[in-house]
Amino acid sequence: MPAKRVLYMSGSLGLGHITRDLAIARELRKLHPAMELAWLAGSPADRLIKEAGEELLPEAADLADENAVAEQSADGATLSLIRYVGRARKQWAQNVEVFLRVTRERPFDLIIGDETYEVVRAFKKNPGLKKYPFAMIYDFVGVDAMSGNLLERLGVYMLNHSWAKSYKRAPSYVDLSLFVGEVEDVPDRSFGFMLPNRREWAKRRCQFVGHVFPFDPARYADRSALRRRLGYGDEPLVVCSIGGTAIGRPLLELCAQAYPIIREKIPDLRMVLVGGPRLSGDSLDVPAGVEVKGYVPALYEYFAASDLSIVQGGGTTTLELTALRRPFLFFPIEGHCEQEVQVAARLARHQAGIRMTLSRTPPAALADAVAANIGKTATWPHIQADGARRAAELISGLMGR
C-alpha cells in the first residue's frame, strides 16, 4: 500500500498554532510511520517547521504575512479582531490561491487546516474546490464586540452569522472538525440575535480533543535541574514573553520599567524579556541587569523554570503555564475578543493566572503584583494534556477515505 500523503496548513498568526500542530503531527506519525507529511505555513511558523526537520513546501514563501497585518491593525497594544479581519481579506485571498495551486499540482490523501478560515470560506463558496478529505482545527467559536461602536457590532454580527450557518446539518466542506479544549471552553450563549447557541453549535460540529502541548508536563517536575541546564541558579526568576507578534512590545517595556522597583522588594531577582521572532532584543531599552532574548526555541522550558511569568493572554502560552503549574500574570491584548473573553474565561474556570490590564497597570502596580505572586504554589487542578494523541486518532480515521 502506498504511503499516505498529508498536507498540513497551519494558521500563521503568532506561534500558538504551529506548536500544537507539530505535536499532533508527531502523534500522527506514531500511527502512520510511513506517512508523507508536507507543510504550508508563513512566517514565523515556517521557522519552527524547519527546526523540527519537517518538509516545508516552497510555495509557503508565497503566503501572505498575516502577522504584519495584525501589527498594522493594532493601536499600540490594542487590537480589534474585527479590524484585523477587515484588513486581512486580501491576504486571505492570496493564501487561498497558494493552497489551491498546491492541491492542484500535488495529490494528497488528507488536508489538515489549523484555523485556516480562508480555506473554509473558499470551500463554502465553491464546494468544487475541495478535492480531498479535510479536517479543520478550532480553539474558539464565535467573536464578541468589545465596544459600543455600531460598525464593530455590525461586523461581529455578520461574522457570527456566517459562522453559524447550516447549524442543523453537517457541512459538506469539512469532514472533521476538532476543537482544542473542552466543551466548557465554548461560551454557552448565542452567536447573536436569532442565531444558535455557540456551545450547541460546537457540540454538533466538533470533536473535543482536550489540550494539546508540545511537551509532557511531568518531565519538568525537577525544576532545579532544568534551571541549571538553562544557566540559572536559585535566585528568583521572572520570565516575560509576548509570543509571535510584536504587538506586545509595550508589555515588555512595562516589565523593564518595573524591574528597578521589583529589585527594591526582591534584591536578587533575575528578569528575562523574550521578544519572540518579530521583535529584536536590541530594539528594547532596558535597565542594567535585565536579560533580553529574541526568539527562544522551547520557550515552555523557561516557563517551567520560572518563579513567575508575565505574558500576554494567548491561549497557548497561558495553558502551557497552567499545565506546568507555574504562577503567572497575563495581560490580554485589549480589544482582542478571543483573549479578553474566551481565553480569560477558560483560565478563570481553571483558576489559573492573575488577569491584569496593560492600560491600567503602572510600573509600581506591576511590581506589587510580582512581589505578591512570585513563587506561589499552584492550587488549581491538573489539566488534561493528551490532546495531541486524541486529535491524531480522530484525524487518522480520515486517512483511509
Contact 362, 72 (CB under 8 A): no
Q: In the structure grid, which three cell numbers stand for residue 142, read together?
A: 464565535
Among the listed residues 217, 298, 221, 269, the one whose alpha carbon sits nearest the alpha carbon of residue 373:
269
Q: In the structure grid, which three cell numbers stand for residue 99, read together?
A: 493552497
Residue carrying the nine cell digits 504584519: 68
CATH number of 5-213+386-396: 3.40.50.2000
CATH number of 217-373: 3.40.50.2000
Contact 314, 343 (CB under 8 A): yes
Residue carrying the nine cell digits 491584548: 333
First-last CA distance in the chain: 14
Domain boundaries, the chain: 5-213+386-396, 217-373
Q: What is the 3-state secondary structure (H, E, C) of 63-109?
A: CCCHHHHHHHHCECCECCHHHHHHHHHHHHHHHHHHHHHHHHHCCCC
CA atoms of 100 and 12, how far apart (whole Å): 17
Strand order in the sheet with 110-114: 55-56, 36-40, 5-10, 110-114, 134-138, 176-180, 206-210
Q: In the structure grid, which three cell numbers stand for residue 261, read together?
A: 522597583
Residue 351 confidence (pLDDT): 96
CA atoms of 398 and 389, how far apart (whole Å): 15
Among the listed residues 93, 97, 88, the one whose alpha carbon sits nearest the alpha carbon of residue 155:
88
pTM of the model: 0.93
224 CB contacts (<8 Å, ≥6 apart)? 234
Among the listed residues 132, 90, 92, 85, the one whose alpha carbon sits nearest the alpha carbon of residue 111:
132
In this prediction, the residues of the chain whose per-residue pLDDT falls under 70 are 1, 12, 166-170, 400-401
Residue carrying the nine cell digits 521572532: 277
Q: Alpha carbon of 96 to those of 25, 35, 68, 123, 372: distances in Å? A: 22, 25, 18, 10, 48
Among the listed residues 279, 284, 340, 318, the one whose alpha carbon sits nearest the alpha carbon of residue 79:
340
CA atoms of 29 and 385, how far apart (whole Å): 18
Among the listed residues 276, 390, 401, the one whose alpha carbon sits nearest the alpha carbon of residue 28:
390
Q: Alpha carbon of 107 to those of 4, 100, 198, 213: distances in Å? A: 10, 12, 35, 30
pLDDT in tens, 4-23: 899 999 986 778 889 999 99
Among the listed residues 290, 348, 336, the one whose alpha carbon sits nearest the alpha carbon of residue 13:
336
Among the listed residues 313, 316, 325, the one whose alpha carbon sits nearest the alpha carbon of residue 350:
325
365 CB contacts (<8 Å, ≥6 apart)? none
Task: Identify the H or E element spanning 209.
Answer: strand 206-210
Residue 169 confidence (pLDDT): 65
Residue 274 confidence (pLDDT): 94
Q: Report CA torsion sign: 379, 381, 382, 385.
A: negative
Residue 170 confidence (pLDDT): 63
Residue carrying the nine cell digits 508565497: 62
Does this chain's domain 5-213+386-396 share its CATH topology with 217-373? yes
